[in-house]
Amino acid sequence: MNEWKQGVKDGLPICFGYFAVSFAFGIQAGDVGLTPFQAVLMSVTNLTSAGQLASLGTIAAAASYLEMAFLQFVINMRYFLMSCALSQKIKQSVKPIHRFIMAYGVTDEIFGVSVVRPGELSPWYSYGLMSVAVPGWALGTLVGVVSGNILPAVVINALGIAIYGMFIAVVLPAAKKDRAVLGVAAAAMALSTVFYYAPVLNQISSGIQVILITLAVAGTAAWLFPREESGA
């Protein structure tokens, strides 16, 4: 129960950030003709801002299901890596049903909070994170698609700052304890900047960019700063 409570506490900043981001998604979903039910259903079953926003374009263009499925596969491929990383923090005794439910809630932000948590990852901690993050994502979508363009874009963008604040709160404590974490974070930011501004690299989809940056940074860090298994 303590693990669940801690997950709820750590998930509140994610909830607030998700509300702002999904609010903007809800507005765009309404613009392409989705009903509130359809928009919320998409948010609850996908939990991916990049994938959902990209899908709106394919829906508006009346693209085939195959095209939409392939697009989602490419954009969300990074979650394979995140899930593999988190699986190393889960006890072998954890039942498959718990692993499946935890996998459902793997997002960029939930992964960021979970991967830096000391020790093993409890399913109940993940459930705590999801119990506030998922409703925040769904509620923001609902409010956005219902209210339309009432709020100006500058206000919505300002609300989204909560996501960046959450990441800073996650990275800084770990970076203070371990310079390797600081180096990894700095390298990831530097590579992200290169991909954003470089003429050729900025044409690569955001999902593929995340995969390439993760592989490059994580692979280099594993080579330069190898960690011994605890209890080995």
Per-residue pLDDT of 120-148, as tens digits, reads 899 999 999 999 999 999 999 999 888 86
Backbone region of residue 121 per phi and psi (left: phi > 0; alpha: psi in -120 to 50; beta: other values): beta
Of residues 131 and 28, the one with the higher pLDDT is 131
- Output the DSSP codes for 117-160: SSSPPPHHHHHHHHHHHHHHHHHHHHHHHHH-S-S-HHHHHHHT
- Of 91-95, 156-160, 216-220, least confident by mean pLDDT is 156-160
What average pLDDT does the segment 152-169 reach? 63
∠ CA 64-66-70 to the nearest 5 degrees? 125
Q: In this structure, what token pair is assigned to residue 150?
A: 């009432």
CA–CA separation, 129 and 118 (whole Å): 16
Domain residue spans in the chain? 2-176, 178-232
Q: Where residue 230 falls among pLDDT bands split at 50, 70, 90?
A: very low
Q: In this structure, what token pair is assigned to residue 218?
A: 């994580």
Q: Are 29 and 39 in contact (CB under 8 A)?
A: yes
Per-residue pLDDT of 161-190, as tens digits, reads 655 665 676 677 767 777 777 888 888 889
Q: Where residue 194 falls among pLDDT bands split at 50, 70, 90?
A: very high
CA–CA separation, 16 and 162 (whole Å): 7
